Amino acid sequence: MNPTHDPTGASTGGRPIGLAVLGMGNVGTEVVRIFDESADDLRARVGAPLELRGVAVRDLTRARGIAAELLTDDAESLVTRDDVDIVVELMGGIDPARGLIRAALESGKSVVTANKALLAEYTGELATAAADAKVDLYFEAAVAGAIPVIRPLMQSLAGDTVERVAGIVNGTTNFILSAMDETGADYAETLAEAGRLGYAEADPTADVEGYDAAAKAAILASIAFHTRITAADVFREGISSVTAADLVAARKFDCTVKLLSICERIRDADGKQRVSARVYPALIPLSHPLATVNGAFNAVVVEARSAGRLMFYGQGAGGAPTASAVLGDLVMAARNKVHGGRGPLESTYAKLPVAPIDDVTTRYYVSMRVADRPGVLAQIANEFSKRSVSLAAVRQEGAGDDARLIVVTHRAPDRAQSECVAALKDMDAVLMVSSVLRMEGTDD
């Protein structure tokens, strides 16, 4: 029997805890560096020495400042080695990470991972494997980098009823939107600049189209609502259609534009509860706590019935901040290996249905080019009114060929709002609907 895999959870004494790291990108490099630098502190905190048994990389020939005998390209063998107690997965992506984590869990290793894409699809499968093997699966680093959000949601708020989680959890898009707001530059230009500065990847799709934020929304919603939510359950719009003009217009409504990951408990008229998880760029009031979260910073606002509104703020990405979260999980997993016991895995008892975006109550901001003639505003207002969507604000700008109308609605079902927009697009008087964004963070 593998001596590290003791299903009674009894103490393993002062025996060293063996560690395997998969992947040596930014985060992996920082994890190994801090691990070496802080070895004495980590030993004292765990109650046993932590020893690095191996680091799996794709390309053995690239220098990495790690003793050659620790490097391997055989991750599969590494994760099941008898002298490995904890596997830290920092490769990202679904495969081969999924199989490696499963193999590790099934061999009685605890796993620490920052892999949000994987967790957004397969937390159920991985948590079940961890539960069967009576080991830990920790993933604080998967959402919002160094900011503790997983553990507070899962543990500190375990006795509360979370109503809503709204966060800025993607640094790339927040950097781009903040820069557009500051400089007035348009999206394409700012994306290029973000790439030059290292804030956007060569293929920025996962960030700018909201896939990364949606994966994190799925993880947060699953925990907050004790319901298994996957990325496919998350309604998603990216920021690539946000224009410089939108940010200027937002300011006129005392707002800015942020890409939000929103997880919401929806209470239907008949008392039934559902869950909405969604990602889109939205106007939020400048007075909202998320409005001042700029650049590569992240923040998550949690509203719970008893706790009220909580906010967590900090660096959401980068090697060192993410490594901080990974190492916190590592210390906790190692402590459990030494002292027995395990952290909570997943809680999915509530099994709430997912509400489609159509059923969610939202507010819309619609910017359009219109014919500059009398009666247009009345016609447009009529399209909203017919669908029981009331207007909160209307701004007319420009004249002649450049006549524009900006409309902000009150709360109404998203289906009605989007039907209004479709109707506008069919109107002769509306030359072009140039932007449609939602508005969040207001009470009306």
Among 336, 362, 367, 409, binds its own copies (CB under 8 A): 336
Task: State the catalytic residue, choosing from 116, 216, 258, 337.
Answer: 216
Least Cβ distance, residue 211 to its own copies (angstroms)? 25
Distances (CA, A) of 420 to 232, 282, 436: 26, 18, 11
Answer positive or negative: Cα dihedral of 237, 444, 150, 31. positive
CB of 160 to its own copies, least distance (A): 4
CB 332, min distance to its own copies, A: 5
What distance in Å separates the CA atoms of residue 140 and residue 126, rounded to the nearest whole number?
A: 15
Asked if 305 and 277 count as a contact pair (C-beta separation under 8 A), the reply is no
With binding defined as CB under 8 A, does residue 10 bind its own copies?
A: yes
Please answer whether residues 165 and 301 qualify as being in contact, where contact means their C-beta atoms are separated by less than 8 angstroms. yes
* Separation between Cα atoms, residue 359 and residue 277, nearest integer Å: 12
Interface residue with its own copies among 13, 62, 69, 306 (CB under 8 A) is 306
Residue closer to its own copies by CB (options 10, 432) is 10
β-bridge pairing 412-413 and 308-315: unpaired
325 binds its own copies (CB under 8 A): yes
Give DSSP secondary structure letters for 100-112.
HHHHHHHTT-EEE
List C-alpha distances in Å: 209 to 102, 179, 284, 365, 436: 29, 17, 19, 20, 16
Measured from the CB atom, is 13 or 374 closer to its own copies? Answer: 13
- Cα 135 to Cα 17: distance, rounded to the nearest angstrom: 14
The single residue among 71, 311, 423, 427 that binds its own copies, judged by CB under 8 A, is 311
Please, what's the largest Cα pairwise distance for the chain?
Answer: 84
User: Total residues contacting its own copies (rule CB under 8 A)?
Assistant: 59
Let me know: does 102 contact 128? Beta carbons within 8 Å.
no
DSSP, collapsed to helix, strand or coil, labels residue 270 as coil
Which segment (90-98, 148-156, 385-393, 414-422) binds its own copies by CB under 8 A? 148-156
- Candidates 2, 26, 38, 243; binder of its own copies (CB under 8 A) is 38
Min separation Cβ 323 and its own copies, Å: 6
208-237 footprint of its own copies as x/- string (CB under 8 A): ------------------x-----------
Q: Is 300 in the site for its own copies (CB under 8 A)?
A: no
Task: Please count the CA atoms within 13 angstroms of the CA of 74 that sit on its side-chain side.
Answer: 7
CB of 337 closer than 8 Å to CB of 83 = no
Minimum Å distance from CB 427 to its own copies?
Answer: 44
**Best CA proximity match to 218, nearest among 131, 322, 294, 143:** 143
Contact mark string toward its own copies, 264..293, x via CB under 8 A: -------------------------x----
Report the alpha-carbon distance of residue 403 to residue 371 in Å, rounded.
7
216 classed as catalytic: yes
C-alpha torsion angle, residues 93, 98, 104, 107 (rounded to 10): 180
- The distance of closest approach from Cβ of residue 320 to its own copies in the complex, given in angstroms and rounded to an integer, is 4
The residue from 240, 273, 347, 434 that contacts its own copies (CB under 8 A) is: 347
Of 182-190, 249-257, 321-329, 392-400, which part binds its own copies (CB under 8 A)?
321-329
Return the sign of the alpha-carbon dihedral for residues 84, 113, 205, 247. Answer: negative
Give the nearest distance from C-beta 113 to its own copies in angstroms. 15
Of residues 332 and 406, the one with the C-beta less far from its own copies: 332
Query: CB 328 → its own copies: shortest distance, Å?
Result: 4
Q: Which stretch binds its own copies (CB under 8 A): 56-64, 143-151, 235-243, 383-391?
A: 143-151
For residue 337, state whether it binds its own copies (rule: CB under 8 A).
no
Of 281 and 314, nearer to its own copies (C-beta) is: 314
Whole-angstrom distance, CA of residue 4 vs CA of residue 337: 8
Q: Which of 22, 34, 176, 429 binds its own copies (CB under 8 A)?
A: 34
Residue 273 or 418: the one with the smaller Cβ distance to its own copies is: 273
Examine residue 201 and tell whether it contacts its own copies (CB under 8 A).
no
- The residue count of the chain comes to 444
Q: First vs last Cα of the chain: how many Å apart?
A: 61
Task: Provide the binding-site residues for its own copies, judged by CB under 8 A.
Answer: 8-10, 30, 34, 38, 41-42, 44-45, 140, 146-148, 151-152, 155-161, 226, 289, 304-315, 320-321, 323-332, 335-336, 339-342, 344, 347, 349-350
* Catalytic residue numbers, as ranges: 216
